[in-house]
Amino acid sequence: MKELVVISGKGGTGKTSLVASFAYLAESCVLADCDVDAADLHLVLQPEIIERRNFSGGKRAEIISQKCTGCGKCAQVCRFDAIIVDKGIYKIDPIACEGCGVCDWFCPEKAIAFNPAINGEWYVSKTKYGIMVHAKLGIAEENSGKLVSMLREKSRKMAEKQNQDLILTDGSPGIGCPVIASLTGADLALIVAEPTLSGIHDLERVAQLVKHFGIAGAVCVNKWDLNPELSSRIEQLTKELGFVAAGNIRYDRTVTMAQINQQSVVEYQHAGCSEDIRSVWNVIYETLTSSQ
Amino acid sequence: MMRIAIASGKGGTGKTTVATNLALAAAAKNVPVAYLDCDVEEPNGALFLKPDTERELNVEVSVPAIDLKKCVGCGICGKICQFNAIAALGEKILLFPELCHGCGGCWLACPTYAVTESKRITGKLQIGQNTEGVKFIQGLLNIGEAMSPPVIKAVKRAAPEAELTIIDSPPGTSCPVIESIRDSNYVILVTEPTPFGLNDLKLAVDMVKALVLPFVVVINRADSGDDQTRQFCRDIGAGIIEIPDSRKVAEAYSRGELAFNAVPEFRDVFTGLLDKILATANPVSGQLERSVER
């Protein structure tokens, strides 16, 4: 079983459009949308949800006002400024609360309820191209890394059960906890870069992260023709990193049109970028299947 | 004193473009302005504002240290930790500092004072100013570190004082974004008129509503894509400001140039955007007078 994770460092470089196209080209796979903050893959693949579960990534504290004597111990020990005193009444700001439970531990009146919180929902769905696991993290919630790890574990189980050899994982932007959670243990990380100075800056940081975790890397350049000079600089950088240069994808308005029509862009056979994406996929598939 | 945060659910919609050009538009009007790059995972503001770094500071987080001579193996530290950052296996204590949230539970609860508070560096701050007079600070999360909120907090704590503070936030809707925008007076949600842009805008709107913050929606590349995003904004009564699609702006962006300087016709676009926002956002109460006219 092989898992490809598609990441980018910088947001909005085309990860999701590319994953949807790869799903179409692979014909059969298990998909995992690990951009749990702002998941979009379902907008293209129109999944039919077959299983829906709550996600609890941690606990949340709440003050039981009848038991609270207002001693202020909780406010004294909380490092996250999550205890609010409103007209003498102690309350917990759920947004500031980190879920550490230190207030609960030290409250002399046992006036704090510290129970598992529901931080979101996750789903197993059917799509045209195979099973997809995806999730919705609740607004202002934490533990996105835990949710990503859980989704990936589920995707591996589903792949085993379905006898699928391929898992396609759509990652999130950045280099922080959800990205780390989506990278660890993957067979190949494809970084989707764009030929801009910020694109290169962000590529360098995320590439270091991929190397830090010892994952094999590949880079493709989206909208390469917006700045051919910077695109060749990215190719050079890819070589220096020891990553696979997976190719360039041209700027094409069909990508937006496909999104509006809930299709993957490679379904538009005559679009120039479709040809480019096919060739990127061939390189990626070759790299994945030839690795041990 | 006004604090404006620039956020978006979806990445790559133009947060940094809006934030840096607004900062420049303010400086051009002699409004004392500070730009805070809170996208500490992938900060890009410096590429455009080109500040001179005057000071560099490390960002430290609290983590436990163990004095095994004092440890009696009671296991309380492992019990109080909610983040699996400390595991007590009888006499043996294992620390996983990268998982630590710095809550202090273990060193407060340890009955023999074997656990103490120690520090670990997870990122750095760069503080300076650019030639146009924009005060600048950015945070940089060290590669391999998972938790950006402490670095974001540090950026805000060390931020230079100014009449107008512009906060460039990371994409998404979870903890790093909340940390960036929570104490601002006003939020600009930048989106694009596509299904992905709309879906993520809806999440971002829910987020600012949960934080009870007034907001306006900037539709970037407004004349590309479809009309659904505009329709959604009208339906919820949100103010809309549009920025037209421009190949010239995209090319200037790719070279690290600001549209405000490089594309003359966009000077007015961003000055107009600044005026609209300053007129709409009320710095005293943090309340938005309903809906910005287009």
**B215 at interface of A, judged by CB pairs closer than 8 A:** no
What is d(CA B284, CA A216) in angstroms, rounded to the nearest whole number? 52
CATH code where residue B199 lies: 3.40.50.300
Closest CA to A123 of A185, A59, A31, A7: A31
Torsion on CA atoms A73, A78, A83, A87, rounded to nearest 10:
30
Q: Which residues of B touch A43 (CB under 8 A)?
A: 195-196, 199
Total domains in the fold of chain B: 2
pLDDT at A127 over 60: yes
Q: Are residues B267 and B192 in the same domain?
A: yes
* Residue of chain A whose Cα is closest to the Cα of B76: A105
Contact at CB, B12 and A12, closer than 8 angstroms = yes
Q: Are residues B41 and B89 in the same domain?
A: no
Across the A:B interface, residue pairs with CB atoms under 8 Å apart total 185
What is d(CA A275, CA A255) in angstroms, rounded to the nearest whole number? 13
- pLDDT for B214-259, tens place per residue? 999 999 999 988 999 999 999 999 999 999 999 899 999 999 999 9
Contact at CB, A43 and B199, closer than 8 angstroms = yes
What is d(CA B94, CA B78) in angstroms, rounded to the nearest whole number? 9
Contact at CB, B207 and A140, closer than 8 angstroms = yes
State residue B210 phi and psi, 5-degree precision: -65, -30
Q: What is the pLDDT of residue A208?
A: 98
Q: Are residues B137 and B208 in the same domain?
A: yes
What is d(CA B240, CA A278) in angstroms, rounded to the nearest whole number? 38
CATH code where residue A188 lies: 3.40.50.300
- pLDDT for A153-198, tens place per residue? 999 999 999 999 999 999 999 999 999 999 999 999 999 999 999 9
The residue-averaged pLDDT of B1-30 equals: 96
Q: Is B68 exposed, middle or buried (0-12, 13-18, 19+ CB in 10 A)?
A: exposed
Question: Could you give the 3-state DSSP secondary structure of residue B106?
Answer: helix
Closest approach of A289 to chain B, Cα-based (Å): 28
Closest CA to B242 of B233, B251, B254, B250: B233
Q: What is the mean pLDDT of chain A?
A: 96
Contact at CB, B9 and A100, closer than 8 angstroms = no
Q: Are residues B152 and B261 in the same domain?
A: yes
Q: Are residues B35 and B148 in the same domain?
A: yes
Q: Are residues A126 and A72 in the same domain?
A: no
Q: Is B131 exposed, middle or buried (0-12, 13-18, 19+ CB in 10 A)?
A: exposed
State residue B124 phi and psi, 5-degree precision: -145, 165
Q: Are residues B200 and B271 in the same domain?
A: yes
Q: Which residues of B touch A214 (CB under 8 A)?
A: none
Give the pairing of strands A58-63 and A112-117.
Answer: antiparallel
Q: Which residues of A touch B195 (CB under 8 A)?
A: 40, 43, 259-260, 262
Contact at CB, B143 and A172, closer than 8 angstroms = no
Closest approach of B194 to chain A, Cα-based (Å): 7
Q: Which residues of A touch B203 (CB under 8 A)?
A: 37-38, 139
What is d(CA B11, CA A5) in angstroms, rounded to the nearest whole number? 18
What are the tokens at B17?
A: 């473009």
Q: With contact defined as beta carbons under 8 Å apart, do B155 and B6 qualify?
A: no
Q: What is the mean pLDDT of chain B?
A: 93
**B211 at interface of A, judged by CB pairs closer than 8 A:** yes
Q: Are residues A179 and A283 in the same domain?
A: yes
What is d(CA B131, CA B50) in angstroms, rounded to the nearest whole number? 8
Which of A102, A174, A201 faces B108 most closely, judged by CB atoms? A102
Rounded to whole angstroms, the maximal C-alpha distance in chain B is 71
Contact at CB, B195 and A43, closer than 8 angstroms = yes
Contact at CB, A100 and B176, closer than 8 angstroms = no
Q: Are residues B165 and B201 in the same domain?
A: yes
What is d(CA B201, CA A88) in angstroms, rounded to the nearest whole number? 38
A262: left (phi over 0), alpha (psi -120 to 50) or beta: left
Other Cβ atoms less than 10 A from the Cβ of A256: the count is 21
Residue B29 resides in a domain? yes
Contact at CB, A175 and B143, closer than 8 angstroms = yes
Q: Are residues A143 and A284 in the same domain?
A: yes
CATH code where residue A79 lies: 3.30.70.20
Q: With contact defined as beta carbons under 8 Å apart, do B97 and B63 qualify?
A: yes
Residue B205 resides in a domain? yes
Q: Are residues B46 and B98 in the same domain?
A: no
Q: Are residues B177 and B224 in the same domain?
A: yes
Tell me which residue range forms the domain holding A67.
59-117
Residues across chain B: 294
pLDDT at B148 over 50: yes
Q: What is the pLDDT of residue B283?
A: 55
- Picking from A117, A134, A158, the residue at the C-terminal end of a domain is A117
Question: Could you give the 3-state DSSP secondary structure of residue B225?
Answer: coil
* Residue of chain A whose Cα is closest to the Cα of B83: A100
Residue B287 resides in a domain? no
Q: Are residues A253 and A177 in the same domain?
A: yes
pLDDT at B289 over 80: no
Q: Are residues A186 and A281 in the same domain?
A: yes
Q: Are residues A113 and A145 in the same domain?
A: no
What is d(CA B250, CA B269) in angstroms, rounded to the nearest whole number? 15
Closest CA to B177 of A142, A74, A286, A34: A142
Tell me which residue range forms the domain holding B93.
62-121
Q: Are residues A88 and A224 in the same domain?
A: no
Residue B126 resides in a domain? no
Strands (E), chain B: 2-7, 33-37, 52-66, 86-89, 92-95, 115-129, 135-141, 164-168, 186-191, 215-219, 239-242
Q: What is the pLDDT of residue A184?
A: 92
CA angle B223–B225–B226, rounded 5-degree value: 95
Which of B203, B225, B250 faces A260 most closely, judged by CB atoms? B225
Q: Are residues A109 and A201 in the same domain?
A: no
Contact at CB, A100 and B83, closer than 8 angstroms = yes
Q: Are residues A48 and A108 in the same domain?
A: no
Contact at CB, B253 and A16, closer than 8 angstroms = no
Question: Could you give the 3-state DSSP secondary structure of residue A84?
Answer: strand
Q: Which residues of B touch A260 (CB under 8 A)?
A: 194-195, 225-226
Q: Are residues A127 and A272 in the same domain?
A: yes
pLDDT at B193 over 90: yes
Total domains in the fold of chain A: 2
ipTM of the complex: 0.95
- pLDDT for A211-268, tens place per residue? 999 999 999 999 999 999 999 999 999 999 999 999 999 999 999 999 999 999 999 9
Per-residue pLDDT band at B89 (split at 50, 70, 90): confident
Torsion on CA atoms A122, A124, A126, A131, rounded to nearest 10:
120
Other Cβ atoms less than 10 A from the Cβ of B73: the count is 14
Q: Are residues A222 and A82 in the same domain?
A: no
Q: Which residues of A touch B206 (CB under 8 A)?
A: 139
Q: Which residues of A touch B104 (CB under 8 A)?
A: 77, 79, 102
Q: With contact defined as beta carbons under 8 Å apart, do B243 and B269 qualify?
A: yes
Q: What is the pLDDT of residue A140?
A: 79
Residue B294 resides in a domain? no
Question: Could you give the 3-state DSSP secondary structure of residue A63?
Answer: strand
CATH code where residue B110 lies: 3.30.70.20
Interface test with B, best of A175, A180, A241, A262 (most B CBs within 10 A): A175
What are the tokens at B7?
A: 């956020």
Q: Are residues A102 and A13 in the same domain?
A: no
Residue B229 resides in a domain? yes
Please report, as a single letter, which amino acid is at residue A107.
Answer: C
State residue B170 phi and psi, 5-degree precision: -75, 165
The residue-averaged pLDDT of B17-27 equals: 97
What is d(CA B82, CA B104) in angstroms, rounded to the nearest whole number? 11
Q: Sign of torsion, CA A266 A269 A273 A275?
A: positive
Residue B285 resides in a domain? no
What is d(CA A95, CA A74) in angstroms, rounded to the nearest whole number? 16
Interface test with A, best of B63, B141, B254, B255 (most A CBs within 10 A): B254
Helix, strand, coil share of chain A (percent; to 5): 40, 25, 35
Q: Are residues B225 and B112 in the same domain?
A: no
Q: Are residues B191 and B86 in the same domain?
A: no
What is d(CA B15, CA B11) in angstroms, rounded to the nearest whole number? 8
Q: Are residues B212 and B274 in the same domain?
A: yes
Q: With contact defined as beta carbons under 8 Å apart, do B4 and B167 qualify?
A: yes
Contact at CB, A198 and B176, closer than 8 angstroms = no
HSE-CB at B204 with a 13 A cutoff on CA atoms is 36
- pLDDT for B92-108, tens place per residue? 899 999 999 999 999 99
- Picking from B74, B99, B121, the residue at the C-terminal end of a domain is B121
